Amino acid sequence: MLKYSLKRLFQSMVTLLIVITIVFFLLRLMPEEGYFGDSYEKLDEAQKEAILTGMGLRDPLHVQLVNFYKNILSGDLGTSTIYRPKVPVIEILKSKIPYSLEFGLSAMAISLICGVSMGILMARSKNKVWDKIGTGYIVIINAVPAAVYYLFIQLYATDIFKLPILFKQSDHLSWILPVISMSLGSTASYAMWMRRYMVDELNRDYVKLARAKGFKDKKVMVKHVLRNAFVPMAQYLPASLLYTISGSIYIESLYSIPGMGGLLVTAIQRQDNPLVQSLVLIYSSIGIIGLFLGDILMASFDPRIKLEGKGGAR
């Protein structure tokens, strides 16, 4: 386990290094206007060159790349030039991440509890009423565009339940609709996969043998079936947890939540190069770290998985 963890950690670090390098070169292809903000049209060529030279953007590429690595290791993600001129990117993120994290974690907790419970109920009542109701919910959530039921919830739930239509930090009731909206898709996903994995486990020989030996159905479900069914899902939990930082583009916009959702799109549209660079690095890191932690968590849940053996690693 330790050997595999170290191996996967090394692979993750190499992958992250490659991603950082690619981001560096891609940012050098973006228009230079993104480094000047609103003052670009007011400067002459000599002033522009002086500013770019001062930022180190006229140094040889290998020198820029080394400085780029040094800045990242020191925690310096640069300064916004257009979105919030002269404000450090770290400060921008500090003001937005807490909102996305709080909403994301709340929605994740609800979707895990409801989704896993729904999946268990569907598996235990296969082809019966609860299974059909759950299947209908999953089909609707996956078939109907999310924007449709988000708007439906916002327009009608506010009138029926007298809830605020937009987010207000001082009003805790304004959290209800955004959190519910965020949790709907994940709930359907968790329910679908939990049902599938549990049905697969229920058809295995060890379950049939345990029942034939007279073990109580509840004990078999909790101690064996549920645990084994949860192992494949555990792999994706760390990534889901980390991705709550990135927020929801549509929901945060719909409810006027000042979180991370849409920040990358806005930064690209405004050509704020330092901010784009920082956000791409953060999202890439989240994906890589999430996969690494997911593999470790999956092995921890099921010691039978030999990740160090031949063909065991992904």
Please say whether the beta carbons of 78 and 282 come within 8 A: no
Is the pLDDT higher at 91 or at 204?
91
What integer pLDDT is reported at residue 132 of this predicted model?
Answer: 93
- Residue-wise pLDDT for 191-234, tens only, equals 998 898 888 887 888 777 877 777 777 777 777 777 777 777 77
Query: What is the tens place of the pLDDT at every residue in 268-287?
Result: 788 787 888 888 888 888 88
> What is the rounded distance in angstroms from the CA atom of residue 135 to the CA atom of residue 285?
35
pTM of the model: 0.76
Q: What's the average model confidence in pLDDT over 28-56?
A: 75
Using the predicted structure, report yes or no on whether residue 312 has a pLDDT greater than 50: no
Do 264 and 283 meet the contact criterion of CB atoms below 8 Å apart?
yes
Token reading at 141: 């959530």
Measure the CA angle with vertex 290, ends 281 and 118; round to 5°. Answer: 130
* 3-state percent helix, strand, coil for the chain, nearest multiple of 5: 75, 0, 25
- Does residue 309 carry a pLDDT above 60? no
Question: Is the distance from CB of 229 to CB of 204 less than 8 angstroms?
Answer: no
Half-sphere exposure of residue 118: CA atoms within 13 angstroms, side-chain side: 22
> Where does the pLDDT of residue 306 fall: very low under 50, low under 70, confident under 90, or very high at 90 and above?
low
pLDDT grade, residue 250 (50/70/90)?
Answer: confident
User: Which distant-in-sequence residues (6+ apart) come within 8 Å of 200 by Cβ?
Assistant: 229
Where in the chain are the domains? 93-270
Residue 165 three-state SS: coil
Q: What is the DSSP letter of 74?
A: T
Domain 93-270 part of CATH 1.10.3720.10: yes
User: For the segment 143-176, what is each residue's pLDDT rounded down to a tens digit?
Assistant: 998 888 888 898 888 888 888 888 888 888 999 9
Q: What is the pLDDT at residue 313?
A: 45
Average of per-residue pLDDT values in the chain: 82
